[in-house]
Each structure stands twice: as C-alpha cells, then as structure tokens.
Amino acid sequence: MRRYLIDFDLSGVPVYKSDYLVIGSGIAGLYAALNAARYGEVIVLTKKNLGDTNTDLAQGGIAAAVDTEEDSPELHYQDTIAAGAGLCNPEAVRVLVEDGIERVHHLVELGADFNRKDGKLALRMEGAHRRRRILYRGDTTGEEIQRVLSAAVKNHSNIRVMENHFALDLITEDRECLGALAWDENGNLRLFLSKFTILATGGAGQVFRETTNPDVATGDGIAMAYRAGAGVMDMEFFQFHPTALNLPGRQKFLISEAVRGEGARLVNAAGEYFMKNYHELADLAPRDVVARAIWDQAQKGQVYLDIRSFTDEQLAGIPRIVKTLKENGLDPRKDLIPVLPAAHYFMGGVRTNIWGETDLARLYACGEVACQGVHGANRLASNSLLDGLVFGYRIVERTKNILKSTRINYPEISIYQGENREGIGAREAIAQIKDLMWENAGIIRNGQGLRVLLENLRKLKLSYPVKNIEEAVAANLYQTAILIALAALIREESRGAHFRSDYPQRDDFLWQKHIVLSR
C-alpha cells in the first residue's frame, strides 16, 4: 500500500500555517474550530462547501439530559450503555452525558433555535431512550446546528475557512503529524502545516450502495489516518438506519427515528404490525433490532411506516419529511410509507482516547471519523451530534496549554514517489465497491460472504498515483471497505450492528473486546 496517494515535490508548493488545522466542517469540526480560535489561528478545510455535511442532514435531534426533574445524566448513561451491547467505553459515555448538557446549552447561547413548549426546550422521545431528552427543531435539527456554527465560524477573525479543498494525506515524520496535503478547487497542491491537526471528516456511508449519507461521506479521514499509521477501531460496527424511504431509482432518504418516537408504527406487506414479535419495546427497540426485523420482513414483501394517525401538529413537526413524501407522490395522511434499512452511521473509526488523541502525536480526531468507544456496538439515537460537540471541545481543552510550547515543523521529506500502477476507472471501482459491500457486509453477514468480499476487493486494481479527486475517493473507499470487511471477518459473533448468520449469538467470553487494525 502506498504511503501517499500522490507523488509530490514540495519545493514551490504554497504553504499555509496555523495553530490548528481542522479537516471537516460538520458539527465536530466547526465546534472544535470555534473553541480553538479562542487560543490561536485556525484553518478549516472542507471538501466542498461549508454546509455539505452529514450534520446538515440530521433530522431527529440531539440527546442531552437537560430536564433535571424527569431525567438525569445517569439515566442517559444507562440507556447509552444498554444500546451499545457491551462494548461502550464507560469513561467516554460518562464524559458524553455529563459534559453534553453544558455543550448543548452553549449551542443555544450561540443562537440554535430549538423547539420550545411553554417557554422551555421541547423534548422528544426516540428509540431505546427511557426519557424525553431529544432537543430538536422540527426535522431539520442538523440544518439549524450547521447554520449556527457556520455563521459563528465565518464571522470569527481567527478562523480561515477554505472551501473546495480536498485533503489528500496527512504529512507525518517519526509518528508525529505535521499537517496535511490538499488539492484546491483547481487541482493545485497545497501544504498545510499546523501545531495540531484535527480530523473531523465524518463518516463513510458511501462505501455501501444504499445509504442515507451525502456524497461527501467517503471515509477519507479514516483512510488518511490509516495510511499515516494511526490505528482504527470497531470497523465492523456500521449502523444501518431502519427507516429510509425506499423508492426505486432514488437515493435513500432518512425517515427520522423521532417519527416512531411520536407513535409511527411499522407494518409488513400483509398489513401486520410486527415489531412486538421482535422486541419488548416494539417499534422503539434499539436500531440494530429494528433494522434486522425490517430486513427479515422485507424478504416476504415491502415494509411500510404508518403515520396516517398523525395529527396536524405532529405533521407540522416533520416538515422536511412531509415535503419529500409529497414530492414523491405520497400523502402521509392516506399512504403507507415504503421503508428499508440503509447505511447510516459509523461507530468505528480512528482510535482515540477520551481527549481525541490518536496513535500519532499532534493528530486528533472527533465526531464520526473518531472512535473512542462511546457508541459501543450500536449507537443510541441522537447521541451522534452530542458526540461531535463534546469531544471536539475536549481536544481544545487538551491542547490549549501546550499551544505556545509546540512548534510548526516543515517536513524533512520534500519529495515522495511511490509505486505506479494503471488500474480500472475510478467510477467503475466505486460502483463495484458499493455493490460488493452492500451484498456481503450489509445488515446480515457471514464468513463465506466476507471472505469472498475481501478476495474480490483485493482483485480490484486501482490506479496510483491518483490523478484527480474521483480517483482519490475510490482509493479511500477501497481502503475503508477492506478495513470493515477484515474486522467483520475477525469478529466471530453477533453484537449490536454486526450480525453474523454463522455466529448468531453474542459471545461475551471471547468477544467483549475491541478490534484494532493498524499498518
């Protein structure tokens, strides 16, 4: 495997220096940047535009135990641990639920206009939560958070946002991260050097054919970190959201968990409400249970979400969903909504501790690209946005006191040339990766299928060095797919979002542990 995706000669390449280099512009990256700007100069690199993120598409809300009368961090902790199927890092969960309350209140102070009821923050119920603790703004919570943080970042004098910059690779020496290489919108190479580099590149849903994720979610940060020598953890745990709008020829559109929290029910092709046969919480069971139940029922025919009983007030609370349904010829008052699970959220990622530190000095990671074990084997609904806030903030808390004593280093390596190879076209490679992953590493897996997957992935010949962004994306998807497949093959049990039909039982004696992969 090549260390860098491109050949390069740094002589004459423009150099940009900053105290903090943040790669990614979702909730984790922007919140980290905003807090870092209190102590130093920050550059934010984003692959496309500032708002092209998974955060912007988040519907349901952000979980926090802000109701001090009915809820508590302890109850939130217990629900998160239970959903994580025995693999949560208890220390990380404790940090999430305790620090998260203050972080959410800070979002409100910044201007996040969450729904209110009787003058107080309104709270929703979602699957596997025992209390109403989901703050929301209709079904556009992520859009609201993205708006607030984007405005704050753009207006901060210590932050420079550089849109349409594709980060290619991290620059490292002696297991220390010095910064990153990136292409600008015209394909020109740029060198970004910093005291601290923060990966906040988001998830990798595009590694699967069916996903709720936007086009930018291609596992770039995971692949970059792995090539640089950082360990990745829990790569077998990819969460499939149970209810994505399932219409022929259309990318899967998320139907928020909050809809079931408000009383929507799942119905099979025979018109039966079936979730009570799978879990005591029925339609509000953990996501992995609901996703597999729908998948099981879908083998006999289309599965639907029934919201025909919703009131005008309830429908007004999900305007984006209602609008999308109507655009596709569905009347939520009269029609059942066809749904099927789709790849949604990566519990695995670049291994970090609870301060965002990776295996490489001066490299930090937060948000969906990172894995400190807070979500275990199955993320609790609406903990993802909170994760980005809490751990993005902690990175700055960890580094602010050593900022002045840390130097910006220019790399000793100025010329790199790796192996050259001609391969198949990037578009064809991406399509094959997506199909192979969906068919063999999707909701139901088995050892034979995973071995076939790895064999077929390794037969794919990609072109190196990469010549454009599409080829770079193919290389990152390929690397991410290999890591997911390998971890899934290693884990010979079923736990949370990872279900092996040849090992259908959870095995705490042998497998209550994390799988870490590194070069």
Q: With contact defined as beta carbons under 8 Å apart, do 103 and 367 qualify? A: no
Which amino acid, 9? D
Decide if pLDDT at 204 tops 90: yes
pLDDT tens-digit profile of 433-456? 999 999 999 999 999 999 999 999
Decide if pLDDT at 73 tops 90: yes
Is beta strand 349-351 parallel, antiparallel or unpaired with respect to 232-233?
antiparallel
Mean pLDDT on 282-286: 88
Decide if pLDDT at 417 tops 90: yes
Q: Would you state the pLDDT for residue 27? A: 96
pLDDT tens-digit profile of 461-470? 999 999 999 9
Decide if pLDDT at 100 tops 90: yes
Decide if pLDDT at 476 tops 90: yes
Decide if pLDDT at 368 tops 90: yes
Q: Which two tokens stand for residue 226?
A: 């792995």
Which amino acid, 393? Y
Q: Would you state the pLDDT for residue 393? A: 98
Query: 171 pairs with which residues across the strands?
Result: 179
Look at residues 324, 330, 323 and name the one whose alpha carbon lies nearest to residue 304: 330
Look at residues 168, 147, 164, 186 and name the one whose alpha carbon lies nearest to residue 30: 147
Q: Provide the mean pLDDT of the chain.
A: 95
- Residues in CB range of 102: below 8 A, 6 or more apart: none
Q: Which two tokens stand for residue 387?
A: 């994760």
Decide if pLDDT at 105 tops 90: yes
Query: 194 pairs with which residues across the strands?
Result: 18
d(CA 134, CA 62): 5
d(CA 450, CA 487): 10
Q: Would you state the pLDDT for residue 58? A: 82
Mapped to the 3 state alphabet, what secondary structure does 327-356 carry?
HCCCCCCCCCEEEEEEEEEECCEEECCCCC
Q: Would you state the pLDDT for residue 99? A: 97
d(CA 469, CA 216): 11
Q: Would you state the pLDDT for residue 52? A: 83
Q: Would you state the pLDDT for residue 256? A: 86
What b/e string do you get for 139-158 counting C-beta neighbours within 10 Å, with b at 16 or more? bbbbbbbbbbbbebbeebeb
Task: Answer whether 0.85 is exceeded by the pTM.
Answer: yes
pLDDT tens-digit profile of 258-278? 899 889 999 999 999 999 999
d(CA 439, CA 490): 18
pLDDT tens-digit profile of 223-271? 999 999 999 999 999 999 999 999 988 888 999 888 998 899 999 999 9
**CATH tag for 1-56+144-238+348-519 (out of 3.50.50.60, 3.90.1150.10, 3.40.50.620, 3.30.870.10):** 3.50.50.60
Q: Would you state the pLDDT for residue 245? A: 95
- Using DSSP's 3-state secondary structure scheme, residue 193 falls into strand
Q: What DSSP letter does each residue of 110-178 carry, written as one string?
A: HT----EETTEE--B--TT-SS--EE-STT-HHHHHHHHHHHHHHT-TTEEEE-S-EEEEEEEETTEEE
> What does DSSP assign to residue 220?
H
The beta strands (E) that lie in 406-501 are given as 415-416
pLDDT interval class at 329 (50, 70, 90): very high
CATH code: domain 239-341 is: 3.90.700.10
Q: Would you state the pLDDT for residue 51? A: 84
Q: Would you state the pLDDT for residue 3? A: 96
Mean pLDDT on 368-373: 98
pLDDT interval class at 206 (50, 70, 90): very high
d(CA 206, CA 198): 22
In the chain, where are the structural domains located?
A: 1-56+144-238+348-519, 239-341
Percent of the chain with pLDDT over 70: 100
Residues annotated as catalytic (active site), given as ranges: 287
Look at residues 64, 256, 51, 269 and name the one whose alpha carbon lies nearest to residue 144: 51
Q: Which two tokens stand for residue 486?
A: 């390998």
Kindly state the greatest CA–CA separation across the chain: 67
Q: Would you state the pLDDT for residue 187? A: 95
